[in-house]
Structure 1
């Protein structure tokens, strides 16, 4: 069974997913109408409240033999324990403040990721600074010291026009490329340790550049069953099958299953460069995959893919520019995780009165 999801549709209604089995998204909803069609504290209170109670309610009211689901009749039986109106507004205000900060961080990260992608595209795909210098212009938005690291002409290497002095090399000659495996799930001594164990499923619902958590963990004994062992912080992971294309960076030592290709960065190739290169070249990667049941890009097919590598000094300049951007993205993600945990901890305590709100009017100014 999956986690019950509540969808908040602004201004009109709460939509409650009635199928709790994880799988393809379906248009199976129970609609809980809200009389007031304008977004307000009461609406926000109800959304938080229902989110907190529906999972246990649904689990005890499932019907169906083939595919269990939750129907409209059961939804009507949801009991809502409403505190006084000022308290509802106060709870909505407290939790809404946390939600607003989470949303602000999310939007900031979208902007930062767009900036990082634009810099990579300009420098390493379109070669804008090189083209500008070739035309006798100063590269836009770039100081003289950084501009000096770019050549002013192109040359042909292996049939490709690239900036003079750069190299075309197989990615397997630049980076250490590793794969993973899964220890026997029948051996309990391998599982439940303190080492994160990542599978593509852990990235399926995440659109962020970093892996914050994994569903499962393994022990040192479990790690011993994996050829790649524990991968270092900053490793870039590419899901290699089912599907190909999830890309993320580790923020803690981690082990992986057979669904990944792991790329270990080094001085010649920054992990954020690798991350952006994978994103920009996904069509090339998928084009080199094979398989009958599902497509898979093997390490054997991945390692020969060619990468246009800039000189070491330019890679260092790129790192100095891009590292603070990704550091801020990571900081925002961690903060959002902490804010979400705080919100989810506060909610039941505020609803039950364990954390009393003695003067709710102070939060809203409305009695």
Structure 2
């Protein structure tokens, strides 16, 4: 529920018999809205039209089916992402144990409800931004897939070197301790996976440049979910359990990124074997061999691969700007302070 407008990702499954018997009351259909009940409160997502005609909602989620006579589903989705609604969620959350809400609380929360025609107009404006964001994310993903295929072609029959010899792997520090709440974002694994949100920590602390992430830097979460990222947001501080990867001069960023990507299945297998602790790798695993193109092939393909790297980064940065515009327009459209026509002009300039 954290990757965009619609639920997506690596699903787990139950049999149709199980769904029809024990879980018949826990199903969601395309067009339904799903809310997080405990943990990361405020998460909300739509059930997409494809690829499935029904889903089973876990015990940490709640499903809402909108009555089309009174409301537009996408308008309700955006209303439930507004700052006013999120404040209601936080104000009404049960703080005992893990903060949570329930169906009773959800049913008491309030959203604006203008005429359905106006709801649809608002949803179309905000949806145009989300559609462009989705296109950019797909573009970035496809560019990375193409780059990896090019890398594999370059390393056929190539020599191997220790991964650690291609770059410096700088482990972040526990910068969240004593954070001021203002200043630069402290990048935790949560920020890598879900972006910057209400729980994001900020700090005014001065740190060495080795622990500062700039747009285009490579970040590698080596504990927990084990993920590889191209940082595209503003200057930020790298927290513990994350490597800032600084390529050595002879190895461009695009190449080091693909070399790490090549080893990720191996790293994840190692982490999966940590049965009694949180999955992670150790520094010694960075010394494992990974194929590297010859200097001649690196030089031959550098212009193209650098261009692909830059295009993916640009798409990610544009999406961040569009998200900021969407989030800025949302409360003003919901409150009626901003006319849909004026918002359409702002959106058309951006997309």
Q: TM-score, normalised by structure 2?
A: 0.71
* Change in 2 beyond 3 A, CA 1:295/1:88: closer
> What is the aligned partner in structure 2 of residue 248 from structure 1?
229
Which of 86, 97, 101 is matched with 2:117 structurally?
A: 86
State whether residues 185 and 203 of structure 2, in contact with CA within 8 Å, keep that contact through their aligned partners in structure 1. yes
**Which of the pair has more CA radius of gyration?**
1
**1:329 corresponds to which residue?**
312
The aligned length equals 302
Distance between the aligned counterparts of 1:109 and 1:183, measured in 2? 30
Shift of 1:337: 1.4
Residue of 322, 329, 332 corresponding to 1:339: 322
Equivalent position of 2:334 in the other structure: 351
Q: Give how far 1:262 is off.
A: 3.1
For residues 120 and 49 of structure 1, the distance between their equivalents in structure 2, rounded to whole angstroms, comes to 44
Residue 108 of structure 1: which of 130, 139, 146 is its match? 139
SS of 1:242's equivalent in the other structure is coil
Cα gap change, 1:337/1:359 in structure 2, threshold over 3 Å: closer, same or farther?
Answer: closer
Task: Report whether the alignment pairs 1:95 with 2:139.
Answer: no
Equivalent in 272, 286, 292 of residue 254 of structure 2: 272
Q: Kindly indicate whether residue 288 of structure 2 is the aligned counterpart of residue 305 of structure 1.
A: yes
Q: What stretches of structure 1 of length at least 5 have no aligned partner?
A: 128-161, 363-367
2:14 matched residue in structure 1: none
Tell me if the contact between 1:11 and 1:36 (Cα under 8 Å) persists in the aligned partners: no
CA distance in 2, matches of 1:123, 1:73: 58
The offset of 1:233, in angstroms, is 5.7
Deviation string 1:78-124 (CA, Å, 9 cap, x unpaired) is 33432233322221221122122122222222322221222122222
> Structure 1 pair 200/92, CA: closer, same or farther in 2 (3 Å)?
closer
SS at match of 2:245: strand
In 2, are the aligned partners of 1:192 and 1:218 still within 8 Å (CA)? Answer: yes
**Aligned ranges 1:30-179 → 2 under 5 Å:** 30-36=62-68, 42-52=72-82, 53-63=84-94, 65-124=96-155, 127=156, 162-163=157-158, 167-179=159-171
Is the Cα–Cα contact under 8 Å of residues 176 and 186 in structure 2 kept in the other structure? no
Distance in 1 of aligned mates of 2:316 and 2:241: 24
Show the counterpart of 2:191. 202
CA distance in 1, matches of 2:340, 2:176: 50
Match of 1:180 in 2: 172
SS at match of 1:285: helix
